[in-house]
Structure 1
Amino acid sequence: MLDDLTRATVFRFLQDAQGLSSLEELNRRFMGAVQAMGFTGAVYIRLSANGQALPPRPVFGEPPPGWVDHYFANNYARFDTAIPMSFQSREPFTWSEAALRGVDRKTDTLFGEAFEWWNSEVLICPVRGINGGLSIVDLTMERGRQLSEMERSTAHALASLYAVAGEGFMEAPAPQPTLEKALTQREMECVYWVCLAKSDDEIGQILSISRKTANHHIEAAKAKLGAGSRANLAWRAFALGLVQPPLF
């Protein structure tokens, strides 16, 4: 249950958010509303726009120093189960719930480091329809906290309005570049399995082709996408929308 003071703080933000004059004021008022509910921080991230996936970089809000660089340096988007869950779910969910979906050891590594780095649990609130795509608002909170359905739905409503109002102060994301030469069907199949961290031998077995042929298709895809490594190939394929997030 929300007490009277918290309800009043939440209501004031919901009432005033779209009339605020700056992103700084929006951030301040939003943090006042979510802190009244026991959250400690917020980060807004675009995941897709104009029908294409985007690198999950914070647009506004304050992630812990160094985390974003660490995340991308380790290509953690390939193993971040919160990304496909955000596309699949219309309801908020936590990092702990996303971590349980992992089937790769690197997913365990990602969330283990995230919990330590952020020193928090995170409630992820998907927000649809902005710039024709999907965004999320990450709300940090004390680890081990159990949220009621009312708290989740209230946080989701606040986050959704925060995202919409905040985008009003930002430039729309630039369209992603298109490929000069499209991937063949076989190259697409190989790239998909590269995104799931399969080796040339494994891809060959899955597709009933030789290891050498699998490697040939992967190298051809790397050349077309301008990727210097398999990790970069996976990320380029994801960012260009060649690999759909629910399958990534």
Structure 2
Amino acid sequence: MSDIFNRFAEQLAGSVGTIDLHNALSETASSLGLSSFAYLVPSSSLGCATDLISSYPQPWTSHYLHSRYEELDPVVHQARLRHEPFRWGAGVGDLNLAASQRDLMNEAAQFGIRSGFTIPIHDRRGLFAALTFASDERQPLFFRVIERYERALQLIAIFFHIHARRRMTSERMVDGVALSNREIQCLEWAARGKSDWEIGRILGISQRTAAFHLDNAKKKLGVRTKIQAAIRFAISRSTDRT
């Protein structure tokens, strides 16, 4: 376990943005037999935009964010109220679901999210986040893995949160210009050659909204085209890695 955590710590220390953070957590979780995870900072936390780093299926995360399900999600609701990790789903725990919340959980189950172990995070700045490990398994195997590594997972969650907030805050700067979370997300995909329509599909927003955020980014960066903005973004990230 110590070798896995040391590797995790090294990856986080060398991370630049959300992709690196995702890869570090993905590798570590897989090493423990936990392939499905989601780190969420809801939009209502200190007024920031929703941040999600997840291995859940992309159609589900896009639908989740587009529908603002973080405001309805019973797991998120319970995580706000609790300070200790908790298990849920597959007959474990009672989340006292309303009909709309039950519908949400049924939708999640269609994407292989039936059971989970959620670690609430309430940091000193008043920021709320939650790291969830999930499974499609109905058998107790998943929870046996959780029980074995529970303390380690809590440490991983806290360590990941510290680095995620640090990296994701600095990540919103491009050549000294502060951009919004959405503007950065749109630029990141534009730099990979995605169209406004494709960006909208990936992020769970409309094509018009994607174009709106890219236009704002262009104005803030003082360039005329989306391509120029994407190049500025890519160069800034390349410089950060050197």
Give the TM interval when normalised to the shorter protein.
0.5 to 0.7
Q: Does 1:128 pair with 2:125?
A: no
SS across alignment from 1:109: helix
The residue type paired with residue 78 of structure 2 is M
Give the deviation of 1:100 after TM superposition: 2.5
Per the alignment, residue 240 of structure 2 pairs with none
Name the Cα RMSD after superposition: 3.3
TM-score by length of 1: 0.55
Distance of aligned partners of 1:170 and 1:157 in 2 relative to their CA distance in 1, 3 Å threshold? same
1:110 to 104, 112, 115: 104
Per the alignment, residue 187 of structure 1 pairs with none
1:146 to 136, 143, 151: 143
SS across alignment from 1:146: helix
Distance of aligned partners of 1:58 and 1:67 in 2 relative to their CA distance in 1, 3 Å threshold? farther
Distance of aligned partners of 1:118 and 1:99 in 2 relative to their CA distance in 1, 3 Å threshold? farther
Distance of aligned partners of 1:133 and 1:121 in 2 relative to their CA distance in 1, 3 Å threshold? same
SS across alignment from 1:106: helix
SS across alignment from 1:59: strand
SS across alignment from 1:39: coil
Counterparts of 2:149 and 2:23, CA distance in 1: 20
Q: For residues 90-118 of structure 1, what are the alpha-carbon distances to aligned partners after superposition, in whole Å with 9 as ceiling and x for unaligned?
A: 22223417873224222221111112223
Q: For residues 192-225 of structure 1, what are the alpha-carbon distances to aligned partners after superposition, in whole Å with 9 as ceiling and x for unaligned?
A: xxxxxxxxxxxxxxxxxxxxxxxxxxxxxxxxxx
Counterparts of 1:11 and 1:135, CA distance in 2: 23
Give the deviation of 1:10 after TM superposition: 2.5
Per the alignment, residue 156 of structure 2 pairs with 158
Distance of aligned partners of 1:26 and 1:108 in 2 relative to their CA distance in 1, 3 Å threshold? closer
Per the alignment, residue 169 of structure 2 pairs with 171
Contact 1:81–1:99 under 8 Å retained in 2: no
The residue type paired with residue 130 of structure 2 is I
Per the alignment, residue 65 of structure 1 pairs with 58
Counterparts of 2:131 and 2:33, CA distance in 1: 16
Per the alignment, residue 40 of structure 1 pairs with 35
Contact 1:20–1:26 under 8 Å retained in 2: no
The residue type paired with residue 36 of structure 1 is S
Per the alignment, residue 49 of structure 1 pairs with 45
TM-score by length of 2: 0.56
Distance of aligned partners of 1:105 and 1:59 in 2 relative to their CA distance in 1, 3 Å threshold? closer
Contact 2:115–2:135 under 8 Å retained in 1: yes
2:73 to 55, 76, 80: 80
Give the deviation of 1:21 after TM superposition: 3.7
The residue type paired with residue 45 of structure 2 is A
Structure 2 counterparts to residues 23-38 of structure 1, below 5 A: 23=17, 24-38=19-33
Q: For residues 95-146 of structure 1, what are the alpha-carbon distances to aligned partners after superposition, in whole Å with 9 as ceiling and x for unaligned?
A: 4178732242222211111122235533222122175311112223352322
Distance of aligned partners of 1:168 and 1:77 in 2 relative to their CA distance in 1, 3 Å threshold? closer
Contact 1:137–1:159 under 8 Å retained in 2: yes
Contact 2:37–2:55 under 8 Å retained in 1: yes
Distance of aligned partners of 1:121 and 1:79 in 2 relative to their CA distance in 1, 3 Å threshold? same
Flag the structure with more relative contact order, 1 or 2, with Cα contacts below 8 A and sequence separation at least 6.
1
Contact 1:38–1:141 under 8 Å retained in 2: no
Residue segments in structure 1 that go unaligned for 5+ positions in a row: 1-5, 176-248
Counterparts of 1:32 and 1:104, CA distance in 2: 35
Give the deviation of 1:76 after TM superposition: 4.0
SS across alignment from 1:169: helix
